[in-house]
Homo-oligomer: A and B are copies of this chain.
């Protein structure tokens, strides 16, 4: 083990405890059949999927579309990186990739590139970009992380048949990344990012999360995935038809109101028998005060 770089983060064992019941099981390096039965489904068809994000009290992720907004404190930031170390992959929508230029790696001390020599503990970044509109450059932070041995090369999920600019493909493949055409039937023009409400009621195409997640488990061996945003991705996964796909929800709430015009987490409303009912409810809820913030862990209550 080498000395972690100066931007390494620590997340103490005492704080890990409350998260543990809400995280994917730790796979044993050479699982025996008996332990596999105890901790996994016999034949899982879906990854363990954790939906996680930080909001303000008025449910905003950011002050405005494209504005990176620091909401939560340093402890919550370290928590996010710890969560990354516990998942095979992290997924974001293309809107967030464009707006934030994120590194999408894990900076917890002891993880690959942060004290460990290989990429052990580094999640695979996945960008959902059906129409291939992300113009990744060699200056992108995510590319830099790969070059410096501090993160894995990203996968970009595109709709089957979508053409990719050759220069962009060159950049991605040059660092070992891949464009992965996925055979989804329907997809929105913008599934990720800050397209809150865009196209609502205007024949917006549907995104089939089940197909995408099943593909990642089956074809790419992704056992666990952490979904970090943006608002359109989160709101979509909170819709009743996709709720069964989410294994765990971890939300950080910061004690601030951003105000109107923010990028909000607020799923489409739900009407049952002519009556409006809550869009999503959590069960098995735990609240964990964490610095100035609070962390909420739970599971989505799936209606039978």
**A interface residues, Cβ below 8 angstroms from B:** 55-59, 63-64, 67, 197, 238, 251, 253, 255-262, 264-270, 276-282, 285-289, 292, 294, 296, 298
Question: Are A255 and B281 interface neighbours, CB within 8 A?
Answer: yes
Task: Tell me the complex Cα distance, A133–B264, Å.
Answer: 34
Question: Are B63 and A276 interface neighbours, CB within 8 A?
Answer: yes
Question: Are A267 and B260 interface neighbours, CB within 8 A?
Answer: yes
- Give A261's nearest chain B residue, CB to CB: B269
Closest chain B CB from A250 CB (angstroms) = 12
Task: Tell me the complex Cα distance, A63–B281, Å.
Answer: 13
Question: Are A276 and B59 interface neighbours, CB within 8 A?
Answer: no
Task: Tell me the complex Cα distance, A285–B256, Å.
Answer: 10
Closest chain B CB from A32 CB (angstroms) = 37
Can you spell out 28 A-B residue pairs with CB atoms less than 8 angstroms apart?
Answer: A55-B57, A56-B278, A57-B253, A57-B265, A58-B264, A58-B265, A63-B277, A67-B276, A255-B282, A255-B296, A256-B281, A256-B282, A257-B265, A257-B267, A257-B279, A257-B280, A257-B281, A258-B269, A259-B267, A259-B270, A259-B276, A259-B278, A260-B267, A262-B266, A285-B292, A287-B287, A288-B289, A289-B289
Residues of B within 8 A of A59 (CB): 57-59
Residues of B within 8 A of A264 (CB): 58
Question: Are B256 and A266 interface neighbours, CB within 8 A?
Answer: no
- Give A276's nearest chain B residue, CB to CB: B63
Provided the pairs A67-B276, A278-B258 are in contact, do residues A58 and B287 lie with their beta carbons within 8 angstroms?
no
- Give A269's nearest chain B residue, CB to CB: B259
